[in-house]
Structure 1
Amino acid sequence: MPGTRLLYGVLPLPGRIGQLVQWETGTYLLLCAGLMAVLLTCRAMRADEDDGLVELQLAVGIGRWAPLVAPVVVSWGAIAMLALGVGVILTGLTQLVTELTVPGAWTPAGSVANAGWAFIALSALICQLCRQAVHARGLTLVGLSGAFALRVLADESGTGWMRWFSPLAWRDLVYPYTNDDPVPLAVCAAICVALVAIAGALYTRREYGTGYLPDRSTSARRWHVRGYTDLLARLAVHGSAIWAATVAATSALFGAMAGGIAELLVPGSATGSYVGKMAEGSPVEQYLSLLTIVTVLLVVVAAAQRVNTLVLRERTGLIDLKSAVGISRTRLFVTQGGMVLVEATGLLMLSGGVLAAATGSQLTEDHAVARAFVFTVSQLPGLLAAIGIALAVVGVAPRRFGIVWAVIAWSVFARFFGGLLELPRWARNLSMMGHHLDVVGDPDWVPLAVQAAVGVAGTAVGLVAYRRRDLSSA
């Protein structure tokens, strides 16, 4: 299928279980590792410089190279732990699936590590070029998209040498579970080190707080703002547009992949048995239930990131300024939460509509179009639960916002890998994503009601705690 080839690349033949795992699940791991690398590096390197923390560190006598080396080392270590987990899990699965091998388990892990390290190096390089963390993050994410486009171009043109220019295509140089060639792993790791060295050369010649690209942080335009809500809405427009484009493009891509899903997941096939452990129902139901987890994940991440702006503004003192001019804490909290809910609901509706339209152009049997929309939109209670948990953390322990990302990570892990690892059903159900209604049969409202209750309770707890705690605790 063209859509499947576009997303995952070329499936190695003869299509054994290991090849399928690294082809499908491995693609998600590479993209997640790249995104994780960009966010970690830009936050630890350039955002700390924007906040004045690097100036403080230099003032107390740490080395000149620490602001560059420390974020790179910490981020590389985080990616290494992710790759180690991948290798350990795949090695453990060799005891359950005879087609999986130990060498094959560690070549995908090495590919994940190299991809993450490459985007760490690219982020470090772009952080030297840009003047602010937000610009560095945006430009690096454009680089991540460009790497994906290069991988697609290499697949479609059959040009092998082009794969060397995209970290997302380095996996295809290694051929996990096929050739398991370690040489490209070593060469790609050396490329990552070289990119960091280039970033270091730029760092030594860059003045603190500046960059090599022109400053576009200010504008001569004047805003006629009508209240605090209007200000938040205007500040959110740019980010919302980016998330909307990302969600729409992802949903359209997944919908375009639905054409031959019945043949791909035919009962008794290797692919069918593999996916059958991850989701239940007919091939169409399995396919859409898994894909909507990914599309809803994007919306959940966007919502959590938007809630986290309360913590970031508190750390920079903006909340104190807003309180000083008469904006109550209740209004600050409720307005931010309401903006998050409106934006996330809009993104969810957009995702469901685009996925249904794209699916309808490829597949119509077994209620595919209706299921594409309903499977997405009916996960709104799970989205409410995510927002409620995030708001509760902001109110009770803003320094522990990492708990929210841990809950999101578990939700994805439980839904994608819970069946493969034979986790108890109750553990798999402890997920904010994947609980949805179906257009066929009697609907099960209990999970959705529980999620909605968690969202309301989390919001209430967060509001009460936010009104009472010291703002400086962030």
Structure 2
Amino acid sequence: MRLALRRDRVRTPVWAFSVALLFLYAVTALDAVYPTAADRQVRAELVSSPAAIMMSGPGYGLDDYTLGALVANEFALWAMIAVAIMNVLLVVRHTRAEEETGRSELVRAGVVGRHAPATATFLLALIANALVAVLSGAVLVAAGLAAADSFALGAAVGVTGLVFAAVGLVTSQLTEHARTASGLGLAALGVAFLLRAIGDVQQTHGSWVSWLSPIGWAQQIRSFVDLRWWPLALSLALVVLLLLLASSLATRRDVGAGLFPPRAGPADAARSLRSPFALAWRQQLGSVVAWGAGIAVMAYASGTFVDSVGDMVDELTATSPEMAALFGEDDLVNGFVAVLTVFMALAVGGFAISSALRARAEETSGRAEPVLATATSRTRWLGAQLAVTVLGSVVLLVVSGLALGLGALTVGVTTPTLGEYVAAAVVYLPAVLALVGVVWVCLGWRPGLAGLAWVLFLWAFVVGIFGSLLEDLPDAARGVSPYWHVPQLPGDDLDAGSLGLLTLVALALLAVGFVGFRRRDVTST
């Protein structure tokens, strides 16, 4: 337990404070954009559509849309998803990943029980989720919301995280690879999200299908509307059942092995796999497909809002100038599309960073060394990794633009055109490459600092989504985000000079990374 706490002494507080900051930004920004009850009722009408319900919640309190109800209905879902991801990754990292690397076997050689690593990991998850719950509730109380409802919402987020910590313990018993265990855990999260979305669309405040999802249970506490605690007992009961299942499965397998043995592959690789690029693409194809599916669903659902945003924004800007600053004052529909495109491009940036870091994972796992021991040069190997990241980013940008445009076409909006949606998304490629360039510089010279790219990504998210509301933020601070230098199409004019300079910066960062990688020892920190 002490070892786990020591290893996550930075990561866990960062996750917890990030979720609390999400609620803080939500309350601050929503209070600025929707300052009156009339403004919030307009918002309530917007989120009553099936697409909005899928991406938010069951819609408690829409008839009297208070600030608290707005936060609980529209932002709690995303906090739960973030915390669920945190828990799956935390549990797999301290259990299955430790077995895969062989470290767990060394620990187990001492006076350590069979279930000690899993028990210590779950206790760490319990501490992390309690921290998330307390900080989130405290932030909402500090923002002026009711204390009981605030801490209930924080508890709902934390308990949902515990459910997926238990899910991670189960998936860690099924396979011998950490990446597969994480994928199975995140797939379970996707199923929970889908069940909740389908159930909430079927019936007001959720149908029986909603009650098949632990996310649905958390949202059924009705914070800031009609608070009830008992749905959280369902989540706690599920945690106990999953822990018993994980314990039972753990007794049926060998250390380092999964419950299901891996299938043997062919003795010789196909010609399509006999190159560094083909291997890297094969390894990341599943990730590209998963990210693409998620971004496509999100973009399509967002595109269905375009037909109603004009009337909504016109009414809000009459009383809230901040809305005009957020969506633009000349063409509100184009401004709304531009904001949606920024959000999708930021999601692609998250994929790009994750994909770029895969090169480091290949090093630390020992898989890069056998490849580099052949006639494959370092430049060719690293270039293949970069090519997969760039190709995947281009594919996801095109998919996001197409899905956003198709969503708008579904509700009868033909302007902007489908091509303009795609162009508005693809124009963010230089910004995405700049994020990859930061990862590449770290990989080349100080691989241990590669995770700092996520800090830049977080700042890009803040500037991209909330920058127009932060009037006192200087341009120098905004300019740190590569996304700030990209024209927001289709409303803005295309600035070739700015894009060209951003592209040169990205290419320079990539080149510096290549030089560093050629000079350092493989697997060095």
**Short-chain TM bin:** 0.7 to 0.9
Shift of 1:432: 4.3
Please give the residue correspondences for 1:45-444 in structure 2 after superposition, counting only pairs within 5 Å. Answer: 45-94=95-144, 100-158=145-203, 162-185=209-232, 187-213=234-260, 215-216=262-263, 218=265, 222-224=269-271, 225-268=273-316, 279-281=327-329, 282-364=331-413, 367=416, 372-417=421-466, 424-426=473-475, 427-428=477-478, 430-433=480-483, 435-443=486-494
Q: Is the CA contact 1:384–1:451 (under 8 Å) kept in the aligned structure 2?
A: no
Q: Distance in 1 between matches of 2:319 and 2:306?
A: 15
Tell me: CA distance 1:150–1:359, structure 2 relative to 1, closer, same or farther (3 Å). Answer: same
Residue by residue over 1:34-55, the C-alpha shift from the partner in whole angstroms, topping out at 9 and shown as x without a partner, is: 2333233323321221221211
Farther-moved stretch of structure 1 (141-150 vs 234-243) = 234-243
Q: Distance in 1 between matches of 2:86 and 2:322?
A: 27
Tell me: CA distance 1:249–1:369, structure 2 relative to 1, closer, same or farther (3 Å). Answer: same
Tell me: CA distance 1:276–1:181, structure 2 relative to 1, closer, same or farther (3 Å). Answer: farther
Tell me: CA distance 1:182–1:266, structure 2 relative to 1, closer, same or farther (3 Å). Answer: farther
Shift of 1:273: 7.3
Residue 144 of structure 1 aligns with an amino acid whose one-letter code is: L
Q: State yes or no: 1:469 paired with 2:506.
A: no
Shift of 1:268: 2.9
Tell me: CA distance 1:446–1:204, structure 2 relative to 1, closer, same or farther (3 Å). Answer: farther
Q: Is the CA contact 2:408–2:414 (under 8 Å) kept in the aligned structure 1?
A: no
Residue 356 of structure 2 aligns with an amino acid whose one-letter code is: V
Q: Distance in 1 between matches of 2:472 and 2:173?
A: 45
Shift of 1:20: 1.9
Q: State yes or no: 1:29 paired with 2:79.
A: yes
Residue 399 of structure 1 aligns with an amino acid whose one-letter code is: G
Secondary structure, aligned partner of 1:333: helix
Secondary structure, aligned partner of 2:281: helix
Q: Distance in 2 between matches of 1:280 and 1:104?
A: 35
Residue 181 of structure 1 aligns with an amino acid whose one-letter code is: R
Residue by residue over 1:370-410, the C-alpha shift from the partner in whole angstroms, topping out at 9 and shown as x without a partner, is: 66334322211210111111111212222233212232233
Residue 229 of structure 2 aligns with an amino acid whose one-letter code is: P
Farther-moved stretch of structure 1 (29-38 vs 73-82) = 73-82
Residue 242 of structure 1 aligns with an amino acid whose one-letter code is: A
Q: Distance in 2 between matches of 1:88 and 1:420?
A: 24
Q: Distance in 2 between matches of 1:447 and 1:112?
A: 41
Tell me: CA distance 1:154–1:390, structure 2 relative to 1, closer, same or farther (3 Å). Answer: same
Alignment partner of 1:15 out of 40, 58, 65: 65
Secondary structure, aligned partner of 2:357: helix
Shift of 1:271: 11
Tell me: CA distance 1:291–1:304, structure 2 relative to 1, closer, same or farther (3 Å). Answer: same
Shift of 1:446: 6.9
Residue 97 of structure 1 aligns with which residue? none
Residue by residue over 1:393-438, the C-alpha shift from the partner in whole angstroms, topping out at 9 and shown as x without a partner, is: 2122222332122322333244445566776254455434464332
Q: Distance in 1 between matches of 2:221 and 2:234?
A: 11
Alignment partner of 1:455 out of 475, 490, 506: 506
Farther-moved stretch of structure 1 (377-386 vs 400-409) = 400-409
Shift of 1:147: 0.5
Tell me: CA distance 1:423–1:390, structure 2 relative to 1, closer, same or farther (3 Å). Answer: farther
Farther-moved stretch of structure 1 (406-415 vs 296-305) = 406-415
Residue 52 of structure 2 aligns with which residue? 4
Shift of 1:272: 7.0
Shift of 1:63: 4.0
Q: Is the CA contact 2:91–2:168 (under 8 Å) kept in the aligned structure 1?
A: yes
Residue 431 of structure 1 aligns with an amino acid whose one-letter code is: S
Q: Is the CA contact 1:163–1:173 (under 8 Å) kept in the aligned structure 2?
A: no
Q: Distance in 1 between matches of 2:202 and 2:110?
A: 54
Q: Is the CA contact 1:376–1:436 (under 8 Å) kept in the aligned structure 2?
A: no
Q: Is the CA contact 1:284–1:368 (under 8 Å) kept in the aligned structure 2?
A: no
Gaps of 5+ in 2: 1-48
Q: Distance in 1 between matches of 2:356 and 2:421?
A: 28
Q: Distance in 2 between matches of 1:373 and 1:116?
A: 36
Shift of 1:353: 1.9
Residue 33 of structure 1 aligns with an amino acid whose one-letter code is: V
Q: Is the CA contact 2:149–2:224 (under 8 Å) kept in the aligned structure 1?
A: yes
Tell me: CA distance 1:319–1:422, structure 2 relative to 1, closer, same or farther (3 Å). Answer: same
Residue by residue over 1:256-314, the C-alpha shift from the partner in whole angstroms, topping out at 9 and shown as x without a partner, is: 34332234434338997786675544542453334334422332222222211211111
Residue 180 of structure 2 aligns with an amino acid whose one-letter code is: H
Q: Is the CA contact 1:248–1:354 (under 8 Å) kept in the aligned structure 2?
A: yes
Tell me: CA distance 1:102–1:329, structure 2 relative to 1, closer, same or farther (3 Å). Answer: same
Residue 243 of structure 2 aligns with an amino acid whose one-letter code is: V
Shift of 1:30: 2.2
Q: Distance in 2 between matches of 1:359 and 1:78?
A: 40
Tell me: CA distance 1:418–1:23, structure 2 relative to 1, closer, same or farther (3 Å). Answer: farther
Residue 345 of structure 2 aligns with an amino acid whose one-letter code is: V
Q: Distance in 2 between matches of 1:161 and 1:353?
A: 34
Q: Distance in 1 between matches of 2:384 and 2:127?
A: 38
The alignment's C-alpha RMSD in Å is: 3.2
Gaps of 5+ in 1: 95-99
Q: Distance in 2 between matches of 1:352 and 1:344?
A: 12
Secondary structure, aligned partner of 1:473: coil
Q: Is the CA contact 1:114–1:167 (under 8 Å) kept in the aligned structure 2?
A: no
Q: Is the CA contact 2:197–2:210 (under 8 Å) kept in the aligned structure 1?
A: no
Q: Distance in 1 between matches of 2:470 and 2:212?
A: 35
Shift of 1:222: 4.3
Shift of 1:186: 5.2
Aligned residues: 469
Tell me: CA distance 1:104–1:209, structure 2 relative to 1, closer, same or farther (3 Å). Answer: same
Q: Distance in 2 between matches of 1:277 and 1:20?
A: 21
Residue by residue over 1:220-271, the C-alpha shift from the partner in whole angstroms, topping out at 9 and shown as x without a partner, is: 7841244333333333333333333333233222223433223443433899
